[in-house]
Structure 1
Amino acid sequence: MYRHFFKRLISIILALCGLTVCAIPMIIVAIIIKYDSKGPALFKQVRMGKHMKPFTCYKFRTMCQGAFEKGGIVSSESDSRITKVGAVLRRTSLDELPQIFNILNGTMAIIGPRPILDFEFEPYKSNTYFYKRYEVLPGMFCTVDLDLRATADRETQFEMDAQYVDDMSLVLDVKAFFGIISMVVLGKNVYKDSK
């Protein structure tokens, strides 16, 4: 019942509460982003969702406009494409807040495998176990964030994602939710090259 009904219900309730609390701060963040650098406040990108169905994922923009096309995914804190405001947003995970709208529109959950770009899964398509990560909605946060966060390599991430789907429960999601908060507060492992 949790997997097929209550998880979604809890995600909606928490997302509505989060939006109520964060609506004004999100507007302020959007204004600061616009003031800090040229480009839209929101960053929209097509990611792979449940059953590998593409969807548009929302985040606050943390890099200069057109940054992904110029150099791909950020792996270092010293990446010159990251804006001043973006560095703060990444470290605090505030850039993830617009994903509240993804949760409300049914394309994401609060806890689940992080949504990735289609080409990031290409090298691992031969591993049938990893496909389990696409049996559930992707999450704003995942169990990888409990310890490794961005420092996890893809194979480790996909292994943990598949294991999460096997073990999914209310207890695990609660543990992940509060554990991730502590990781965010400590600002640990934000980038691939974090120590």
Structure 2
Amino acid sequence: MYKKCIKRLLSIIISFFGLVLLFPFMIILAVFIRLDSKGEAIFKQKRLGRKQKEFTIYKFRTMVENAYKIGGANSYEGDPRITKVGALLRKTSLDEIPQLINIFKGEMSIIGPRPILKEEFEPYKSNAYYSKRYDVRPGLFCTVDVDYRAVATRELQFEMDAEYVDNMSVKLDVDLFLKTFITVIQRKNVYRQEEEDSAEGSR
């Protein structure tokens, strides 16, 4: 019952009230982003959703305009493409707030595997176990966020995503929701560079 309808109903309710309550704050953030650097306040990008169907994800822009063309999809701590406001948004995960719109529209859930770029899953698409992550809607928070955030390898992320799908329950979702907030508050593992000499991808 939870997996089929209650989870979706809760996502609608939480995202609706979240958007209403946070709307003034979102406007303020958008103004600061525009004042800090040239470009739109909202960053849009195609990601893979449920059943591997693409959808447009919304985030607050944290990098300079046309950052992808300048240096590719990966970023790292101290990346000159990251704006001053963007650095703060990333550390606090406030750049993810606009995804409440995706949740309300039914493209995402509060808890679920993080949506990634189509090309990032391409090398793993023949792996039936990893593909389980697409049996559910992608989420604003996921199991990998609790301990790893950006430092997790793709293999570890997909393993944890598949395990989450197999064990999804209201208790697990509430537990992950609370634990993720602790991780974000501690500002842990914002960039992969914190553990290895690589960069944060599209998570």
Asked if these proteins are the same fold (TM beyond 0.5), I'd say: yes
| Aligned match of 1:161 | 161
| Aligned match of 2:198 | none
Matched pairs, number: 195
| Aligned match of 2:120 | 120
Deviations 1:87-106 (A, max 9, x none): 00000000000000000111
Task: Give runs of aligned pairs for residues 92-171 of structure 1, distance below 5 A.
Answer: 92-171=92-171
Shift of 1:69: 2.4
The amino acid that maps onto 1:149 is R
Measure, in 2, the Cα distance between the counterparts of 1:83 and 1:29.
13
| Aligned match of 1:30 | 30
Shift of 1:68: 1.6
The amino acid that maps onto 1:27 is I
SS of 1:193's equivalent in the other structure is helix
Task: Give runs of aligned pairs for residues 34-113 of structure 1, distance below 5 A.
Answer: 34-113=34-113
**Equivalent pair of 1:48/1:55 in contact (CA under 8 Å):** yes
Q: Structure 1 unaligned runs (5+)?
A: none
Deviations 1:118-171 (A, max 9, x none): 000111123110000000000011010010011000000001001110000000
**Equivalent pair of 1:38/1:65 in contact (CA under 8 Å):** yes
Shift of 1:74: 3.2
Which structure 1 residue ranges, 4+ long, deviate > 6 Å from structure 2?
Answer: none
**Equivalent pair of 1:8/1:109 in contact (CA under 8 Å):** yes
SS of 2:182's equivalent in the other structure is helix
Measure, in 2, the Cα distance between the counterparts of 1:64 and 1:53.
28
Shift of 1:70: 2.1
Measure, in 1, the Cα distance between the counterparts of 2:193 and 2:75.
6
TM-score (norm 1): 0.98
Q: Structure 2 unaligned runs (5+)?
A: 196-203
Shift of 1:72: 2.2
Shift of 1:30: 0.2
Residue 10 (structure 2) pairs with residue 13 (structure 1): no
The amino acid that maps onto 2:66 is G
The amino acid that maps onto 1:52 is Q
Deviations 1:50-81 (A, max 9, x none): 00000000000000011122222334111111
Shift of 1:19: 1.1
The amino acid that maps onto 2:49 is G
